[in-house]
Structure 1
């Protein structure tokens, strides 16, 4: 069964889908509002803005590296629905701290001394929150869905996530100028998310009880080491991680690039992220239809090559845009869209994300279908550990490029080049997949 809309009518899927949607929405509403406010209202330097954007990304990602192993163990050895409710309850407190930071920023009270540190503290805590929620949102699917529904469910979760990001981004573009409203909104949506999480059906542990290793370093090492024995899952993790390395560089670049290269205001910066989110959602659904519910990396290499080509096109469009500007006044959405090249900017961003979604969604399904059900959360957690390390590396690399004076537009070419490595990893994964199928047929 390769259509996914029927799942939205099922209690075994709908509450999880809505909870995840609200989680992604509120994460993005808070983070984007915070970044846009600081970039546009606090700093007035491209280097400082890029530095803050990169630091915010690193602060959010760090908990995935530190705590994913513990989160994966807890998810496999406990009732996943119970953990979801605990995590969503914690979000209410976290967003209360973030809301206070936004309120102080709105009032202009100790912005750099207290407000921004509070905003970063809440962002770090939301990273911890997402670290414990992340393994569950994928690993719970094989427990509640039929085998031929898992790819459809994964695609729907991924599409819903990016549509939620899109909605949160749109709202953040407006609330960056109404910080007091944003402060109330993030707490309100956290409360709604907790209420929907209470409807997720039970998902008890599938394996035998085990002792949890609470040491973040030894548990992370053992979890990643154990998962490398499965070649399909190992290559899927490497390919996903390199994809998100590229993604982290692109997301760090978007707000400063919008302001300093395309001379656009924060609403246009939000529009960029909206088109990116729409594209990933389209790609998530499209690849599920192409594969007809089969978990396969068949289209991954060509998809990421298409993504690289679109990043290159985006670079040339940015260069052409910069050459035609006559002043340094920031444009609003209406002015931006009045330029014919605006649709080339948005179109290339959309295609980058469509190909990206087609590349990465089947790979997430590998993590939960190519391992025993009792280890699915740990496979996702191992992926999050490697992903977070790759994303932090990408963030630091982007900051390093800015520090040595590499222009923002030229940094896009690096992202395009990295797609070649992702394509190679995707091809290795597909080869491992076909070899495993041949071995299975021989065994039969």
Structure 2
């Protein structure tokens, strides 16, 4: 029996896994239903669609930048399981707000004046919720799992997250928007019930005062965390990875509609393939590393990811040369000559990305004292979110300047080179630290 199989049978892991899975499912059911409905049913302009997608991404990410320091302090100074239960209870209310926005948009009632602002407000609240859950879902693992189970647990959480993204994305693309509105409320209730089964995870160190000044606490948190070279390079490498992911996810819906000429079901399929690939990469890297936390495969993984991004760009250019004249259904898309190559390039990007990022998250929880794990993840989230907001702004500016969506894909390929350089620096630092441990 594998470690992963054993963990899925243990109460110290399973309720957390299910709660995180349902949280990711609900977030993506809501976000994807909202973006696809607005892109396909409200706007009819490539620049407006790309701009809305960028605004939605920035609103979801912004709370990570502003509130991660507070979230990290709370997670380290309070019972992590109690925080999860509180946040999941609040999710029921915020999903009611989002459902109201979706319902109004579906009925065509005050779409621009009320429905879209309501949906974006709920998305902002969803980002706040995820900000407070983010440090916990990784920091709680070393507290509940044995040392040789942490990488497997991290991989399962990542794989489960992307399987949930897959399920939420599929549903959002295929079910009517009014069903999505009902579904997000029901899922939030089930998620709260599963959160109540998570075992207690009290603070492991001395209880320190919580600094509620978000600017001061954020600066102090980053300064206190980033002095460790391994943590520094891991955080910067993860930040570039998620910036690449942000740019790609912003591009996907409008690119699917305006370049591939595909229906919203095909746009959903793109996100599905991406999610499946990350899940495969998340589990596969654990097999390659045999449970050992290491950045050994990081540089090669992200370089391979860059190669697939360039291949994706090339296929898009070929597609533009023989572009359909109307939106394709899923069956029509699959029958198109270059569709298989397009999906394979997306799958390759995602698998390589999953193999790159999972060990880096494990770094953040295994290279620091357990009582500081949540704050380390919070510092990572602050830097990540700053980079992702910058990526959203950059994507919005490129749209405003009239640069085509296809050409914007090359930006992601260039950023993969920077990520590979950072991963190489991290691996060298890891080797130096291991050598120092062996000689002492």
How far is 1:325 from its partner? 2.1
SS in 1 for 2:336: coil
> 2:439: which partner in 1?
442
Distance 2:79 2:337 in 1: 53
Distance 1:257 1:213 in 2: 43
Q: Give the CA RMSD over aligned residues.
A: 0.9
Give 1:433's match in structure 2, choosing from 413, 430, 434: 430
Aligned CA distance change for structure 1 residues 326 and 366 (closer, same or farther; 3 Å): closer
Contact 2:160/2:279 (<8 A) preserved: yes
Pairing of 1:51-62 with structure 2 (within 5 A): 51-62=51-62
Aligned CA distance change for structure 1 residues 369 and 326 (closer, same or farther; 3 Å): closer
Distance 1:242 1:338 in 2: 35
How far is 1:5 from its partner? 2.1
> 1:337: which partner in 2?
334
> 2:353: which partner in 1?
356
Once structures 1 and 2 are overlaid, which stretch shifts more, 77-86 or 4-13?
4-13
SS in 1 for 2:8: helix
> 1:229: which partner in 2?
227
Distance 1:109 1:325 in 2: 35
> 1:121: which partner in 2?
121
How far is 1:373 from its partner? 0.2
Distance 1:336 1:135 in 2: 40
Pairing of 1:1-400 with structure 2 (within 5 A): 3-175=3-175, 178-327=176-325, 329-400=326-397
Distance 2:177 2:298 in 1: 41
Distance 1:430 1:351 in 2: 23
SS in 2 for 1:4: helix
Contact 1:311/1:412 (<8 A) preserved: yes
Contact 1:241/1:386 (<8 A) preserved: yes
Distance 1:376 1:326 in 2: 51
For residues 40-59 of structure 1, the C-alpha deviation after alignment (integer angstroms, 9 at most, x for no partner) is 00000000000000000000
Distance 1:281 1:299 in 2: 17
For residues 180-202 of structure 1, the C-alpha deviation after alignment (integer angstroms, 9 at most, x for no partner) is 21111100000000000000001
Aligned CA distance change for structure 1 residues 139 and 326 (closer, same or farther; 3 Å): closer
> 2:416: which partner in 1?
419
SS in 1 for 2:12: coil
For residues 103-132 of structure 1, the C-alpha deviation after alignment (integer angstroms, 9 at most, x for no partner) is 111111100000000001100000000000
Distance 2:214 2:329 in 1: 46
Distance 1:119 1:407 in 2: 27
How far is 1:322 from its partner? 1.4
Structure 2 unpaired stretches of 5+: none
Contact 1:2/1:152 (<8 A) preserved: no
Distance 1:132 1:94 in 2: 14
How far is 1:87 from its partner? 0.5
Distance 1:362 1:69 in 2: 23
Aligned CA distance change for structure 1 residues 234 and 152 (closer, same or farther; 3 Å): same
Distance 1:326 1:125 in 2: 39
Distance 2:6 2:349 in 1: 29
Contact 1:283/1:357 (<8 A) preserved: yes
Distance 2:308 2:18 in 1: 32
For residues 276-331 of structure 1, the C-alpha deviation after alignment (integer angstroms, 9 at most, x for no partner) is 0000000000100000010000000000000000000000001111111252x100
Moved over 2 A (4+): none
Contact 1:2/1:293 (<8 A) preserved: no
Distance 2:221 2:324 in 1: 55
Aligned CA distance change for structure 1 residues 138 and 345 (closer, same or farther; 3 Å): same
How far is 1:2 from its partner? 7.1
Contact 2:259/2:323 (<8 A) preserved: no
Contact 2:33/2:172 (<8 A) preserved: yes
**TM-score of the aligned structures, taking structure 1 as reference length:** 0.98
Distance 1:325 1:29 in 2: 30
Contact 2:62/2:389 (<8 A) preserved: yes
Structure 1 unpaired stretches of 5+: none
Distance 1:345 1:142 in 2: 39
